């Protein structure tokens, strides 16, 4: 299955998001460390969430 740019961006965001969740469970939130807890961090969380939804679509399409 060929991957386009959107597929790769979504995949990278899902990977980064999952690593951040794992580290957050250990008390180390990389997104908030790098971006603070403001609007920019919220945008990253939003994009990670959308990427997760897109990955659900990606793995179920034929």
Task: State the pLDDT at residue 49.
Answer: 94
- Residue 19: give the domain boundaries: 5-60
Burial of 10 (0-12, 13-18, 19+ CB in 10 A): buried
Q: Work out how many domains the chain is built from and give that number.
A: 1
Task: State the pLDDT at residue 25.
Answer: 93
Does the pLDDT at position 1 exceed 80? Answer: no
- The 10s digit of each residue's pLDDT in 10-35 is 999 999 999 999 999 999 999 999 99
Positive or negative torsion for Cα 12, 32, 18, 60: negative
């Amino acid at each position: 299955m060929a991957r386009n740019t959107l597929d790769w961006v979504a995949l990278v965001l899902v990977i980064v998001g999952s690593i951040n969740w794992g580290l957050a469970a250990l008390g180390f939130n990389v997104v908030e460390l790098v971006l603070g807890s403001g609007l920019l961090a919220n945008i990253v969380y939003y994009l990670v969430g959308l990427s997760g939804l897109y990955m659900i679509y990606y793995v179920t399409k034929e």
